[in-house]
Structure 1
Amino acid sequence: MAIDLVIITFLIAILVNLYSYTGFLKSLSQELIRAIRKPKLILMFVPAILGLLPVAGGALMSAPIVDGVGDYLRLEKRVKLFINVWFRHVIFLVYPLSTVLITTAALAGISIWSLIAVEFPVLIAMIVSGYVVGFRSVKSEVKLKLEGPNLNLLIRAFSPILVAIIIAVTLRSYVDGILPIPLTRLSMVLGLTVAITLILKISGAGLKDLVKAMASRNTAELTIAAFSAILLRNVFIASGGPDVLSLVIKPHNTFEVILLLTLVPALLSLATGSSMTGNVVSLSIFKSLLNVGLRETMLIYSSATLGYLASPAHLCYVYSAQYFNTPMSNSYRDMLLATIPTLAVAIITYLLWPY
Structure 2
Amino acid sequence: MQLLPELPWIVKLLGSLGIILLANRLLKRLALSMAIGTLILALFAGHSADGIINITCHRLFNLKHLNFILVIAQICWLSQQMAATGLMTDLVNLIQSRLSPRGSFSVLPLVMGLLPMPGGALFSAPLVDNCDPEKKFKPELKSAINFWFRHIWEFWSPMFPGPLLAMEIVGLSSLEYFIVGFPMSLFAVGAGYYFLLREIPASRRTPGSQEPAFFKRFFSLTTPITIVVGAYILYQFIPAGLRWENNYFPISLGIIGASFWVQHMRPLPAVQWHQVFSQKKILTLALQMSIIRVYGAFIEANLPDGTPLVAKFSTELASYGIPVVFMVMLIPFLCGLATGLGVGYVGASFPIVFRLIGLNPSFSVLLSTLVLAQGFGMIGMLLSPVHVCLLVSNEYFGTKLGPTLAKLVKPAMVVIGGAILFHFVYPLLF
Contact 2:115/2:228 (8 A) holds in 1: no
Distance 1:154 1:263, change over 3 A: same
Deviation at 1:65, TM superposition (A): 2.7
Deviation at 1:129, TM superposition (A): 0.6
Q: Which moved more, 1:317-326 or 1:305-314?
A: 317-326
Distance 1:19 1:85, change over 3 A: closer
2:395 maps to what in 1?
322
1:211 maps to what in 2?
none
**Distance in structure 2 (CA, Å) of the matches to 1:118 and 1:334:** 26
Contact 2:301/2:309 (8 A) holds in 1: no
2:355 maps to what in 1?
288
Contact 2:300/2:309 (8 A) holds in 1: no
Query: Is 2:163 the counterpart of 1:101?
Result: yes
Distance 1:130 1:200, change over 3 A: closer
Q: 1:277 aligns with which of 333, 344, 352?
A: 344
Contact 1:241/1:285 (8 A) holds in 2: no
**Distance in structure 1 (CA, Å) of the matches to 2:383 and 2:318:** 28
Deviation at 1:86, TM superposition (A): 1.0
Distance 1:240 1:278, change over 3 A: closer
1:44 maps to what in 2?
106
Q: 1:338 aligns with which of 411, 415, 427?
A: 411
> Counterparts of 1:91-170 in structure 2 under 5 Å?
91-143=153-205, 147=209, 148=211, 150-151=217-218, 153-154=220-221, 156-160=223-227
Deviation at 1:18, TM superposition (A): 9.2
**Counterpart of 1:59 in structure 2: which amino acid?**
A
Aligned residue-pair number: 332
* Percent of residue pairs identical: 21
Distance 1:243 1:332, change over 3 A: closer
The answer for unaligned runs of 5 or more in structure 1 is 1-5, 206-216
**Distance in structure 2 (CA, Å) of the matches to 1:240 and 1:311:** 21
Deviation at 1:160, TM superposition (A): 3.9
Counterpart secondary structure, 2:147? helix
The normalised TM-score by structure 1 is 0.68
Deviation at 1:102, TM superposition (A): 1.4
**Counterpart of 1:98 in structure 2: which amino acid?**
F
The normalised TM-score by structure 2 is 0.58
**Distance in structure 2 (CA, Å) of the matches to 1:111 and 1:235:** 31
**Distance in structure 2 (CA, Å) of the matches to 1:81 and 1:200:** 25
Contact 2:75/2:120 (8 A) holds in 1: no
**Distance in structure 1 (CA, Å) of the matches to 2:339 and 2:101:** 34
Contact 2:118/2:389 (8 A) holds in 1: yes
Contact 2:324/2:356 (8 A) holds in 1: no
**Distance in structure 1 (CA, Å) of the matches to 2:227 and 2:76:** 9
Distance 1:285 1:201, change over 3 A: same
Distance 1:181 1:320, change over 3 A: closer
Query: Is 2:121 the counterpart of 1:59?
Result: yes
1:3 maps to what in 2?
none
Deviation at 1:39, TM superposition (A): 1.6
Q: Which moved more, 1:121-130 or 1:279-288?
A: 279-288
Deviation at 1:282, TM superposition (A): 0.8
**Distance in structure 1 (CA, Å) of the matches to 2:137 and 2:240:** 56
1:78 maps to what in 2?
140
**Distance in structure 1 (CA, Å) of the matches to 2:258 and 2:129:** 29
1:302 maps to what in 2?
375
The answer for unaligned runs of 5 or more in structure 2 is 1-62, 265-282, 360-365
**Distance in structure 2 (CA, Å) of the matches to 1:182 and 1:63:** 35
| Greater length-normalized contact order (CA 8 Å, ≥ 6 residues apart) | 1
**Counterpart of 2:145 in structure 1: which amino acid?**
I
**Counterpart of 2:199 in structure 1: which amino acid?**
S
1:210 maps to what in 2?
none
**Counterpart of 1:319 in structure 2: which amino acid?**
V
Q: What do residues 162-185 of structure 1 show as CA deviations (whole Å, max 9, x unaligned)?
A: 75798899x9xxx9xxx99799x9
**Distance in structure 2 (CA, Å) of the matches to 1:55 and 1:308:** 16
Distance 1:67 1:33, change over 3 A: closer
